[in-house]
Structure 1
């Protein structure tokens, strides 16, 4: 049963944003996942564990559902339901071998990232050299070509690749550490090849933070030293290679790309609609203002006002308390990479990769095992 769940989670990572002949695949995969979970609960007579994170998520989802009936827009509610289900599914099933399951989900998370990386490179190669177009490709200002393969958001995909990197270091691959470094470099190139900077920026900020807090360990441990070095040097390295590197179409800079204007407009809208924002309807905000703010907390404020901000912060705090108690520090840093990344992109509740990462945290916290 758990193997089926892991397989479905992998399908969500690879095809959760993909549409086949106009039909979104996520609802079908999610429905299968719900059936598996319900079957596990019924046939195993499993009692769902009471958890403060789950209680907060359930209350918030119920509130959003009520207001969705009022507005007639259920898109945000649907995304919230999927996100929280993917985050909390370990609380719904009876896990007989938690250590094995934790390893399986972590490995799936990494391998799905590798497969998506390969698919992205094939997409870029076929477009540039064969003139064949498939998957998500967009042309932006400055002749910037953005690639996302089966995903719909370039920043999400870039951040997902970056979040895989700490798990690569911790996972028990039967390969030498040098090959792990090669795999890390491979994922960094994939993250940059989307032309989104979110993943690399979050990775560098996290590793700088780690190096500052653990400078003595980094200096003594050569493996950590080289892992940090290859990450921190990634930015100037690819700035130097940019002109000759065929996979990177965008100039790598620290400009805000117009985000600050979106922040200002979002804050202004929030002050005028402080309690409920756009009443959990991002489309209403977009039609009114025109620019979705690329920041986790400002986005929450404009979509759901103080109600959504407060509930989400409390929910994240309960997750962070669990993260703090984990023995797997690499999993902790994958979580931090995602949190930093969401300060530059909107809608955390559309980041299903983040919810699956959180589910690994739940497995480890609930059963006190290392991934």
Structure 2
């Protein structure tokens, strides 16, 4: 349910920044629209009371890997430092608000975030209809062998888009009361994910279902009973998994297969590059990696090892596991979007350009602050 909110410049800036997520990879005259968030962030800083920001372990733990990525990227001439800066900005956007005002801001921002995901899902669906029925192309489209056609609309990577859409599904059940509206929005997001032809969203959804089922089964054994709410969540996740498989069979131009799509080769090449450069990796020099080794690893663990070496790997995953722990055990609303995304990153060849994930983390840390103060989001 959306809460009433008094207008303020700070709130408006945050809503605009959230609304920019669907345009993460869209550029105008060669300039990424998402870069606007940097100027908005500066404005947000100066509009905050006494130019202050309240930080927590999420920020402190991210600082070291953040500065390591900046240093490596600048030293190698990589543009990843820009992605890391934008990622960091999205991590911080809710820290400027006092916890007493945070609930209403987060609540309305959730709606903006969900509308953005629906916008992207409708975009890829219209892309496919336009391409197949009228022969007209717009947005990101790639034709592959075997009859597969990838649709990305405003996004460049189909796996990222597929994961983004699927990870938004749990929010639908919180934000809408009407069963009919929930069903319509869920179907739009699922069909949109399927139309991209990427399997990442499907894989992440299935793995999340298995993980949550195993976790709750272990809890039930320990305490001797299972929570009804969790049982309903598991049924919803299972139903969504089956539904997306059905949609994949019916609507995707790509058949469901369990092959690695070359990912195993990427793992091998990633480990090889790590062994060649164990302390610094290739310093996020994508051009060098592609020239010397080939395919970028489609796995977060191998990606960080190959790009930044063992030292970055250690400090990065201290932060990453903290985020996962908070999502799994300390928050409610953003638990499943975070967990779905974490499993999805096991199949994606990048991380710091996943700005939507930085925003989800910021959402979850805000929810953690709200819950700590006993202020609900109803």
TM norm. shorter chain > 0.5: yes
Q: What residue number does 1:334 align with? A: 337
Are residues 144 and 123 of structure 1, via their aligned partners in 2, closer, same or farther at CA, if it must alter by over 3 Å? same
1:356 corresponds to: 359
Per-residue deviation, residues 278-330 of structure 1 (Å, max 9, x unmatched): 023222212211210100010111111112211210111222343245341x4
Q: Judging changes above 3 Å, is the alpha-carbon distance between structure 1 residues 207 and 2 closer, same or farther for their aligned structure 2 residues?
A: farther
Question: Among 334, 356, 365, which residue is 2:368 paired with?
Answer: 365
1:161 to 139, 156, 165: 165
Pairing of 1:199-348 with structure 2 (within 5 A): 199-214=201-216, 224=233, 227-234=236-243, 236-238=245-247, 241-242=249-250, 245=251, 248-328=252-332, 330-348=333-351
Counterpart Cα distance in 1 of 2:94 and 2:15: 15
Q: Residue 271 and residue 47 in structure 1: after superposition, are their counterparts in 2 closer, same or farther (change >3 A)?
A: same
Q: Are 1:170 and 2:174 matched, yes or no?
A: yes
Aligned partner of 2:137 in structure 1 is: 133
* Match 2:16 to one of 8, 33, 53: 8
Q: Which runs of 5+ in 2 are unaligned?
A: 1-8, 218-224
Q: Matched residue of 2:168: which SS? A: helix
Tell me the C-alpha RMSD between the 2 structures. 2.3
- Provide Cα deviations, 1:148-194, integer angstroms capped at 9, x if missing partner: 101111000000011111111222x2412x54234223211111110
Q: What's the secondary structure of 2:151's corresponding residue?
A: strand
Q: Counterpart of 1:191?
A: 193
Query: Which one is further off, 140-149 or 191-200?
Result: 140-149
CA apart distance, 1:334: 1.1
**Whole-angstrom distance in 1 between the partners of 2:29 and 2:194:** 29
Contact residue 6 and residue 108 of structure 1 kept, 8 A:
no
Cα distance change, pair 123–48 in 1 and its aligned pair in 2 (3 A): same
Q: Aligned pair 1:45/2:72, yes or no?
A: no
Displacement of 1:65: 3.0
Contact 1:207 1:231 in 2 (8 A): no
Cα 1:292–1:69 shift into 2, 3 Å? closer
Count of aligned positions: 359
Change (3 A) 1:259 1:370: farther
Q: What's the TM-score, normalizing by structure 1?
A: 0.89
Superposition deviation, residue 93 in structure 1: 4.2
User: Partners of 1:169 and 1:150 in 2: how far apart?
Assistant: 26
DSSP 3-state at the match of 1:110: helix
Deviation at 1:96, TM superposition (A): 4.9
Quickly say closer, same or farther: Cα 1:51–1:214, change in 2 above 3 A. closer
TM-score (normalizing by structure 2): 0.87
Is the contact made by 1:17 and 1:26 (CA closer than 8 Å) also made in structure 2?
Answer: yes
Name the residue aligned to 2:60: 55
